């Protein structure tokens, strides 16, 4: 049997930071990871370059039932502390606007320094190690694993949830957390592509366009075929839209996706309205079309009149949705036709019917109900000596390094407070352990 002070379950970003922090505080620390190596999900972040934090920090960048839960955590270890901490470990920052990457442009560099620091801090690391039971005796938590038993004073769950299960986030720890009395906010994919109902996507695959996306969510429940009821909640994002054979993708879609998947799980109607000329007003669009189909037509067809304004295939879809024949002479396109075309350009409707699911999601929305966790220490309010860090909690971030910032900050807070509790020492607030 292993006897230790702090046991971290999960070897992702939050778990590694928690283990290093706890060990740096002087606690004997054990980390168990059920995959064959730690940090697999970290390697794919930032398209393999690891956008590890963002200088523009605001509570609006974090979502959950209670986003303000993040504030006491960031007060202890925020963006500035993260940059300084990683710099000391060897990660020299490279910035692209507010986005921070390692100068090497390799996510592997971030994982490498975390693994080296685990070794330096003498973290007892066990991979391929599966949790099988968790119970409390009079003094210690008893953790049963596929590699033997661990007797530990405190436990940190940093297991992630269900996103990208091939990297290890498969939800296998959820029953053990629920066994402690904790409840989960409904878990849905986030930062994920959305599927549209319309058939025209098959001809738009591969097209990219600057667009404004307005996500409309019907308040209240509905049944298929039922008339809509109640007001709509609208979320908007602008950026490069990627059109696919199944629907929509790209950063603005990722930013909106957690609201869409949550609403769909609640059987609420979700619609995306796409504006393909976001910098041009409706009146200006009408004037633009009047010129292109009028004095600038030069004998063109309706299809040809849109060449140079939109991708050819997108122009064809917009005309078809407006009910305008592609080969109609541009000069014969009526004012009413141009009104309908303007509506399609500024408000192309996409009925959202799903997402690409957990396999494609970068993170999840939902998780352990934060009302059951102390925001200052990340200790369970229901089971003393149990702590949480990272995505397993009901906090998810926007694209741009925010989910990793939450992992680092929550890992630090959970690790430092779990170590202090295990050592019986008052917590001394600090800004890192290196």
The 3 state secondary structure assigned to 220-274 is CCCCCCCCCCCCEEEEEEEEEEEECCCEEECHHHHHHHHHHHHHHHCCCCEEEEE
When the pLDDT of each residue in the chain is averaged and rounded to a whole number, the result is 94
Diameter over CA atoms, the chain: 88
CA dist 41 and 7 (Å) reads 21
Show Cβ contacts of residue 78 under 8 Å, excluding neighbours closer than 6 positions: 57, 405, 409
Q: How far apart are CA 389 and CA 18, in angstroms?
A: 8
Nearest CA to 305 out of 284, 287, 319, 320 is that of 319
Q: Are strands 62-63 and 396-397 parallel, antiparallel or unpaired?
A: antiparallel
Q: Residue 395 and residue 403: Cα distance in Å, rounded?
A: 9
d(CA 13, CA 240): 28
Q: Are 162 and 175 in contact (CB under 8 A)?
A: no
Contact 41, 394 (CB under 8 A): no
With 70 as the cut, is the pLDDT of residue 230 above it? no
Average pLDDT over residues 77-87: 98
Quick check: pTM over 0.75? yes
Which DSSP symbol is given to 195? E
pLDDT digits (tens, 9 = 90+) for 334-384: 999 999 999 999 999 999 999 999 999 999 999 999 999 999 999 999 999
DSSP string, 403-431: HHHHHHHHHHHHHHHHHHHHHT------S
For residue 263, name the pLDDT band (cuts at 50, 70, 90): very high
- The pLDDT confidence band at residue 232, using thresholds 50, 70 and 90, is confident
Residue given tokens 């694993």 in the structure block: 145
Over 60: is that where the pLDDT of 224 sits? no
Over residues 95-110, the mean pLDDT reads: 97
Residue 152 above 90 pLDDT? yes
In sequence order, what are the residues at sequence separation of 6 or more whose Cβ sits closer than 8 angstroms to the Cβ of residue 281?
none
**What residues have CB less than 8 Å from 62, skipping those under 6 apart?**
70, 395, 396, 397, 398, 402, 406
Q: Which residues pair with 126 in a beta bridge?
A: 32
Determine phi and psi for 97, rounding to 5 degrees. Answer: 70, -125
Identify the bridge partners of residue 380 per DSSP, sorted by sequence position: 373
Burial of 227 (0-12, 13-18, 19+ CB in 10 A): exposed
Q: What is the pLDDT of residue 227?
A: 40
Residue 47's pLDDT is 86
Tell me, rounded to whole angstroms, the distance of Cα 38 from its chain centroid.
20
Reported in sequence order, the residue ranges of 146-196 that DSSP labels E, i.e. its strands, are: 148-157, 184-190, 194-196
SS3 210: strand
432: pLDDT strictly greater than 50? no
pLDDT over threshold 70, residue 433: no
Whether pLDDT at 427 is above 80: no
The mean pLDDT of 169-198, rounded to a whole number, is 97
Structure confidence by residue, pLDDT tens digits, 314-333: 999 999 999 999 999 999 99
Q: Is the pLDDT score of 430 beyond 80?
A: no
Report whether pLDDT(418) > 90. yes
CA angle 416, 418, 423 (to 5 degrees): 95
What's the pLDDT at 425? 74
Tell me: pLDDT of 98 over 90. Answer: yes
């Amino acid at each position: 049997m292993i006897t230790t002070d702090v046991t971290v379950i999960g070897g992702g970003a939050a778990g590694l930071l928690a283990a290093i922090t706890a060990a740096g505080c002087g606690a004997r620390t054990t980390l168990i990871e059920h995959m064959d190596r730690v940090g697999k999900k970290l390697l794919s972040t930032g398209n393999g370059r690891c956008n590890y934090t963002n200088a523009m920090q605001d509570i609006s960048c974090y979502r959950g039932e209670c986003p303000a839960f993040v504030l006491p955590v960031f007060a202890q270890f925020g963006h500035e502390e993260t940059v300084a901490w990683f710099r000391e470990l060897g990660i020299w920052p490279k910035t692209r606007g507010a986005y921070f990457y390692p100068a090497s442009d390799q996510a592997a560099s971030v994982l490498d320094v975390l693994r080296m620091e685990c070794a330096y801090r003498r973290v007892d690391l066990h991979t391929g190690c599966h949790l099988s039971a968790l119970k409390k005796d009079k003094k210690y938590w008893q953790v049963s694993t596929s590699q033997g038993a661990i007797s530990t004073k405190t436990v940190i769950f940093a297991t992630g949830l269900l996103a990208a299960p091939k990297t290890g986030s498969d939800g296998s720890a959820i029953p053990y957390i629920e066994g402690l009395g904790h409840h989960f906010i409904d878990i849905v994919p986030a930062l994920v592509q959305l599927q549209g109902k319309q058939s025209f996507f098959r001809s738009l695959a591969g097209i990219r366009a600057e667009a404004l996306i307005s996500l409309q969510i019907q308040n209240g429940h509905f049944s298929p075929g039922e008339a809509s009821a109640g007001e709509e909640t609208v979320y908007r994002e602008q950026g490069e839209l990627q059109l696919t054979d199944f629907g929509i993708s790209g950063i603005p879609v990722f930013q909106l996706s957690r609201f869409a998947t949550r609403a769909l799980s609640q059987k609420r109607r979700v619609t995306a309205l796409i504006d393909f000329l976001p910098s041009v007003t409706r009146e200006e669009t009408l004037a633009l079309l009047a010129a292109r189909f009028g004095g600038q037509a030069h004998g063109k067809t309706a299809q040809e009149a849109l060449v140079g304004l939109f991708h050819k295939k997108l122009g064809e879809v917009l005309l078809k949705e407006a009910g305008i024949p592609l080969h109609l002479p541009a000069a014969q396109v009526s004012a009413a036709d141009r009104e309908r075309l303007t509506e399609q350009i500024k408000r192309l409707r996409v009925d959202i019917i799903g997402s690409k699911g957990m396999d494609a999601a970068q993170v999840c929305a939902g998780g352990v109900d934060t009302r059951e966790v102390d925001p200052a220490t990340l200790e369970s309010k229901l089971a003393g000596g149990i702590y949480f860090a990272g995505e397993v909690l009901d906090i998810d971030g926007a694209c741009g390094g925010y989910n990793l910032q939450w992992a680092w900050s929550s890992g630090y807070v959970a690790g430092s407070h779990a170590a202090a509790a295990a050592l019986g020492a008052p917590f001394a607030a600090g800004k890192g352990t290196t």
